[in-house]
Each structure stands twice: as C-alpha cells, then as structure tokens.
Amino acid sequence: MKSTDRAAAFGLAGALALSLAACSSGGSDGADAGSTDGAGKTTLRVVSLLPGSEQAAIDAFDKQVDEFEAANPDIDVVPEEYEWKATTFAAQLAGGTLPDVFEIPFTDAKTLIANGQLSDMDAQFRTLPYADKFNPAIVEAGSSEDGKVYAIPAKNVYGIGLHYNRKLFESAGLDPDQPPTTWDQVAQDAKKIADANPGVAGYMQMSQNGTGGWQLTVQTYARGGRVQELSADGATATSTIDNPATVEALEWLQKMRWQDSSLGSNFLLDWGTMNEAFAAGQVAMYTSGSDVFTSMVQSNGLDPATYGLAALPLSDAPDAGVLSGGTLAAVPAGASDAVKDAAIAWIDFFYTAKLVDQDRAVADARTLVADDQPVGTPVLPMFGREQWEQNQEWIKDYINVPLDQMQSYIDSMFDLPLVNEPSRHTQEIYALMDPVVQAVLTDQDADIASLLADADQQAQALLDQD
C-alpha cells in the first residue's frame, strides 16, 4: 500500500491510501486525453498531486510539465490530481477514468496484470538506458509471470517509520531528539503527551479504507508475526492473521485506548485523514511510510520544524521486521503505442532519470527548491545504495528537509529487516482486518480472539478461491 501518496501514501504502504480525483490542476477537462491528433501530437493525462495540494506544490509541478513539453513538443501533458484508495481504485480503472499514467502500490500490480487491466510496457521500459540497473526485485513487482514489465518502479520505495511531533514531545517534557525505541516506550510517551495535551492523541492507528489492516500488518511484522504464508512452491496460501504477534499488537492498542486514554477521540482515520490530523497537531505519533513527509508539506501545511521521523520499534522476536512497499507507474490496458511511448518519456523525466542522471537530478531539485518544495526526504533506493549515495551527493546543495530530525530513521534505513506485504488478495484482506482494529478502538469489551478467528476464516476463504 501506498505511503506518500498511499498513500500514499503509500501506503501504501500500503499504504498507502490512494483515492482518485478527476479534477485537473492543469485546467483541462481531459476530453481528448490519451489520443494523438492528425499532426502527430499526443495528449497524455498524468497524475500530478493529491487533491487540495498547496499552490506552491502545484506551481512546481506545472514548471516540470513546461520543461517536459519544451523537450518533447509532440506531447501535451494534462495533469490530474490523484490519490489512490483501495475502496475506489477498481471502479475508477473499470470505468476508464484513470489518467494515462497512474500510480499503484507494489501489492496491486500482479492482480491487475493477471486481469489484463494494464498495458504491456516491456518494450518501452527496455528503451530506458538504465533499465538493467534497477533492483531486480523491484522490477519483478510490476512484471508478469513471463517476465514482461507492465508497471514501472516510480516515485518511491519505503520502509515504515514512526512519525512524531517534536513540539508535542516537548510539551510533555520529553526529549524530541530521543524518540521511543520500543512499543512500551511509545505507549508511555503517548500517555504523557495525551495527559499534557487534552484532546490530543498521543498515538493513533489508521483504521479504515484498508489502512487498518495495512497498519495492523505493520504491527504484526514488528513483533515477529506474519498474516499470510505461502507453500514452498507458491501454489497455495494460508491465512495466519490469528497469530500471537497480532494478538499482542491489538492488546497493546486496547490498553492505550481503554486504560491509558492516550489515543484521542477520532477512531476512523485512514492515510489521508491521519496525515491531516498529524499536520494539525492532533496526533503526536503514528506509523506510515518514510516518505510521507513530502505529502504532508505539499497537501497538509505541515510545519517542518515540528516533524520527527524515527526507526520503527522492533521486538526481540527473531522474525521481527519492517513492512516495506512502494509505488509503480502504469498505463491502462488498450493504450496505443503512441500513448505508451509518451508515457515512458514522462516516467523517465518525472520519476526515474533524476535518480541516475546528475543533470536531471540537479534540474529537478532546483525546480522544487525554487517553490519551497521538499528535497531529500529519506526513501529506500530503487537502484542500490551506491547509486542512492551518488544521487544524494548530486543534490546535496538543494536538500532542504530537516534531516537532523529524521536521524533515527536514516541511521538504520540500510539495515532494516524489510518484509514484503502479503502477496495474495492483499487489499481485500487488509479491508477485512479493518473491523478488527475498529472494534478494539471503539468497544471496551472487544473479544480479540473471536475477532481474529473470524477475520482469519474470511481471509482463508478468499485465498481458497485461487
């Protein structure tokens, strides 16, 4: 799931949370989108920013469009605001209202490819001069069983981190340079913050639109559990939602909610509304993809001075790990070769060339900084650590995010025990885990064992359909 645009966000991660909006930041109604006129000029609809983004972010994006069109006079780019949500994405795709280049979380590509809902972009992908430099595991996420690339790594690869409000930490007498490193410390700090700031959630967890299941999976992984296991040959999958680590995570939430009263009063947050609440100072801590800082600055008016990012606490369990995810760029099935060629040119320009080409990296960073947009938000490398470090050296004069307030995460990001999201029926299973989280947050007598047994049974029924 998507995290930064989901959502992310996302997270999306997850999460990441993706909702779709058809309004355009470029002023076009998109009526002639995805077409090529008699003079050979192709109109290409592309995702731009989250709905409601700050004007400065829109200005920076439009400058990038102008730069691209100047270099590609045969392509007319039509930006469309976009946010992925599991609850609406399928209908948008089936209805043909997605842009020609849209974003999906890693978890969705395999199913969309199998269903014939994405265009084969293999030939276009192979034209990229750096195609063979991608991390093969990341390329595989968007490839069919026969190895053809349908969805191209773009935008980000993230590990989940602990986001916290430094100002709220200080208000409770806590040191914002010493974020919690265990879940017990998270709970203790959350109670101190909630007690010192009535109405503020010391910690909060997403709970709807599939993000409740996404984040419950994060909590499960961090305690060494898993929610799904594949057979040795990958032919079958078994739901393991009902496991000791998930029970422990829910009991941890239950205690904070009903004994500590440290979770605030809004128990129906998803990726987008969580970001809003955090940026507004209503939530002191939550977990999401490491890249979500950029989205909160662009869309939620986050004050960077209040922001902190820490490594996700992990238990001592041998299989404890950090859920990772990322974003792919894709084109709907049925696109013409002209549209696919235009799409790969845009993907190269906007998403990926800036990671491997110094001139493009500097130009992109310069444009963003000119409009006070974030440069340097920590994400995991798509091409390997050496390439990532080279890129950071190229743009070091433009990095404007508060890296010193993210040091806990940065110090560990290359050593994280990353764990992929469950691979089968991911979004559907996340959605059926939402009610489990909601019940724990809203019903003092919620029976965790019964809730997990029921969710596990429903998940297995889905897996048995394969």
Residue carrying structure tokens 């798509």:
382
Q: Count CA atoms within 13 Å of residue 3 on its CB side.
A: 30
Strand partners, 201: 283
Task: Count how many domains the chain has.
Answer: 2
Residues 62 and 442: their CA atoms lie apart, in Å, by 44
- Find the domain containing 453 and state its range: 158-324+404-464
- Asked whether 299 and 275 are in contact (CB, 8 A), the reply is yes
Question: What string of pLDDT tens digits covers the 466 residues of the chain?
Answer: 433 333 333 333 333 333 322 223 333 333 344 677 777 899 999 999 888 889 999 999 999 999 999 999 999 999 999 888 877 888 888 888 899 999 999 988 988 999 999 999 999 999 999 999 999 989 999 999 999 999 999 988 899 999 999 999 999 999 999 999 999 999 999 999 999 999 999 999 999 999 999 999 999 999 999 999 999 998 999 999 999 999 999 999 999 999 999 999 999 999 999 999 999 999 999 999 999 999 999 999 999 999 999 999 999 999 999 999 999 999 999 999 999 999 999 999 999 999 999 999 999 999 999 999 999 999 999 998 999 999 999 999 999 999 999 999 999 999 999 999 998 999 999 999 999 999 999 999 999 999 999 999 999 999 999 8
- Asked whether 343 and 190 are in contact (CB, 8 A), the reply is no
What CATH number has the domain bearing residue 309? 3.40.190.10
Give yes or no: residues 412 and 457 share one domain: yes
Residue 34: the pLDDT is 66
Residues 134 and 175: their CA atoms lie apart, in Å, by 40
Residue 62: the pLDDT is 95
Is 388 within the bounds of a domain? no
Give yes or no: residues 87 and 232 share one domain: no
Give yes or no: residues 316 and 298 share one domain: yes
Is 122 within the bounds of a domain? yes
Give yes or no: residues 172 and 285 share one domain: yes
Give yes or no: residues 315 and 175 share one domain: yes
Give yes or no: residues 219 and 143 share one domain: no
Give yes or no: residues 313 and 333 share one domain: no
Residues 250 and 286: their CA atoms lie apart, in Å, by 15
Is 332 within the bounds of a domain? yes
- Asked whether 409 and 309 are in contact (CB, 8 A), the reply is yes
Give yes or no: residues 57 and 173 share one domain: no
Show which of 303, 338, 363 is a domain's final residue: 363
- Asked whether 10 and 17 are in contact (CB, 8 A), the reply is yes
- Asked whether 18 and 89 are in contact (CB, 8 A), the reply is yes
- Asked whether 160 and 287 are in contact (CB, 8 A), the reply is yes
Give yes or no: residues 112 and 232 share one domain: no
Give yes or no: residues 139 and 187 share one domain: no
- Asked whether 42 and 52 are in contact (CB, 8 A), the reply is no
Show which of 363, 389, 421 is a domain's final residue: 363
Is 22 within the bounds of a domain? no
Give yes or no: residues 170 and 83 share one domain: no
Cis previous bond, 7, omega within 30: yes
Show which of 363, 386, 420 is a domain's final residue: 363
Is 392 within the bounds of a domain? no
Is 163 within the bounds of a domain? yes
Residue carrying structure tokens 């996700």:
312
Give yes or no: residues 136 and 180 share one domain: no
- Helices (H), ranges, 234-384: 244-255, 271-279, 292-300, 337-347, 353-356, 358-370
Which pTM value belongs to this model?
0.88
Is 145 within the bounds of a domain? yes
Is 1 within the bounds of a domain? no
